[in-house]
Structure 1
């Protein structure tokens, strides 16, 4: 099999420092101390792919778009070109994919987020060559991504057919302002496999009683630090606590006041005490609790907190399982298993994190 591989080296950088994306914000992300996320996820995917399919013929693009990583894990790739500048952009992604097509690639495997997916799909337009994403962006709405880097490798090594799936994206400026309106950017061929995520769908159903129950718990534990994640369900909790929270950010609350608003990873860590609880809602249609839309909730944060999952009944009715993708495989494994998700003021439902 001939696999074209590329990595968007800046994908996801803005997440943990509270920028909710990296489009047009690379310099600001770096100024806030952001570290690249995608290269390590590229390494995980390629290492797993080399273990499963060491004889795969890899087509790559020059650094920092993945060629060196492929060589580091044991491949001897065919490098087809170089980025146009040290700071890569959408044009480099499209140029790489066009070169892969010209070299008869059977699959384009990429590391990035929805923006990268849209660029890959644009370059593949009119072709039946499938694409498969290793998720590394802050917002990952499209159904062209595997659940994890290792899952992407498994799919790439074993798929036998493809189907058309949606590539979604949101305007990052609107997203930072709290407006989440995913738009269809393309329809592309994607390998058929169980290890792919679904498109994000908005959950329905009233969450008022659920929010009242969480707010009651918060008031009853004034010494506890509450890390309140993004999303409309947790947003209802913030309203019950009488403050206007960040709709797509993380707010930290303790003893009747907001300790940190729209907090970065470091601000959350600084605000934590001895007793901490993360309140999160899974992404509708996908089931991700961590790893999509909330990178501020890093492994370092998660390890210091209890976990409270909240969701409307309608949302959970559409989910068979919950998922995590924290960038830390050991933590992901520790989080897997049966958990109780709050669906009402007092009611809870058992659901499995897989």
Structure 2
């Protein structure tokens, strides 16, 4: 008697409100009150769109997969939109989902012995998953939050889909334990990063597609940062708006300018003076429309993201408006070397824009010192 082959069992959990606070400068989405505030400010939920990108990478294979998920915006709506046959194993209560919904869904799915639980969210969602799944459960995160410090996420939604495709196809993948990290959002909104480890989760270890835990803290070599700041300040043009991204490298540059800085937000400088602080995506579009604009950004240490991690205020529309030629990337060579040859990553949420941004770009690494480093796309 021939034994029937066991179908791959995929669990799907979406935190539909993940990342909703980013575009409106709330620096997080934890808690129903924050989510409600973000919605009242006009924020648009994007987590379902992010995981949809992932599932498109393996959509054909899903026809022969047993898919288990949650009702409504936590999974069922997504599956219906993609014509994926699925089983709903948990029904949420109310329109605004909570951490408790995520935790319950994760517990139910892990008890059903999934081959993989795919979830979309940020570090808060990863904490909920970590607190609820049974020991030994294999999970993978699709990045959709404001804060992505944890090592359980793929580097982009598309990368997550490719890992799922490899697993369903039976390709050999190592499994390893990755740290679940999160920061205090109250302190985060005050410009203080205080990260804490909350546990670990087992993930498929395809190193091209899974991000490292974020490296925190300021660069140790202050002289290098002074050189970078001196170069950028010397090159600043009059009557040009300089949009200053988040991160400690840009913070140092702002200190050298003598300007107050929003470490975890986006500020706008004109003629060496701050004219707008901690702007939202819509405010940024309105403020810069029709103006001469340059954007100063750095990369996340250990990960390589220049867009899509903690700077959702820099929307695809804004980036398109200013053009690739007006993007100034600053980083120490130490940060670039730590990438071990991996490309920079633009994860804007707009695939065509990510592709347009790809290719070699100059990175300011010192005073009149620059290197050419690639922004990846196809290889991700």
Pairwise TM-score range, normalised by the shorter structure: over 0.9
Cα deviation, residue 237, structure 1 = 1.4
Residue matched to 2:44: 35
1:256 and 2:272 matched = yes
Unpaired stretches in structure 2, ≥5 consecutive residues:
1-7, 168-172
1:287 and 2:304 matched = yes
Residue matched to 1:124: 133
Residue matched to 2:232: 214
Residue matched to 1:18: 25
Number of equivalenced pairs: 351
Picking from 205, 229, 241, the partner of 2:245 is 229
Q: How does 1:54-73 map to 2 (within 5 A)?
A: 54-73=63-82
Cα deviation, residue 66, structure 1 = 1.2
Cα deviation, residue 275, structure 1 = 1.8
1:301 and 2:318 matched = yes
TM score, norm. by length of structure 2: 0.90
Cα deviation, residue 113, structure 1 = 0.3
CA contact 2:62–2:84 (8 Å) conserved in 1: no
Cα deviation, residue 156, structure 1 = 1.4
Cα deviation, residue 42, structure 1 = 2.2
Residue matched to 1:311: 331
Cα deviation, residue 85, structure 1 = 2.7
For 1:81 and 1:260, the matched residues in 2 are separated by: 45
Q: Deviations over 1:26-59 (max 9, x none)?
A: 1211121111011211222223231344312110
1:54 is paired with a residue whose SS is: helix
Unpaired stretches in structure 1, ≥5 consecutive residues:
none
CA contact 1:52–1:154 (8 Å) conserved in 2: no
CA contact 1:276–1:304 (8 Å) conserved in 2: no
CA contact 2:230–2:367 (8 Å) conserved in 1: yes
CA contact 1:291–1:324 (8 Å) conserved in 2: yes
Question: Structure 1 residues 216 and 52, CA, compared in 2 at 3 Å: closer, same or farther?
Answer: farther
Residue matched to 1:276: 293
Residue matched to 1:200: 214
Picking from 358, 364, 369, the partner of 1:336 is 358
1:64 is paired with a residue whose SS is: helix
For 1:49 and 1:58, the matched residues in 2 are separated by: 13
1:59 is paired with a residue whose SS is: strand
Picking from 123, 146, 151, the partner of 1:143 is 151
1:338 is paired with a residue whose SS is: strand
Cα deviation, residue 62, structure 1 = 0.4
1:45 and 2:50 matched = no
CA contact 1:201–1:284 (8 Å) conserved in 2: yes
1:87 is paired with a residue whose SS is: coil
Question: Structure 1 residues 49 and 204, CA, compared in 2 at 3 Å: closer, same or farther?
Answer: farther
For 1:353 and 1:204, the matched residues in 2 are separated by: 25
TM score, norm. by length of structure 1: 0.96
For 1:352 and 1:205, the matched residues in 2 are separated by: 24
The worse-fitting range, judged by mean Cα deviation, of 4-13 and 34-43 is 34-43
Cα deviation, residue 106, structure 1 = 0.9
Q: How does 1:182-197 map to 2 (within 5 A)?
A: 182-193=195-206, 194-197=208-211
CA contact 1:204–1:315 (8 Å) conserved in 2: no
For 1:146 and 1:342, the matched residues in 2 are separated by: 27
CA contact 1:205–1:314 (8 Å) conserved in 2: no
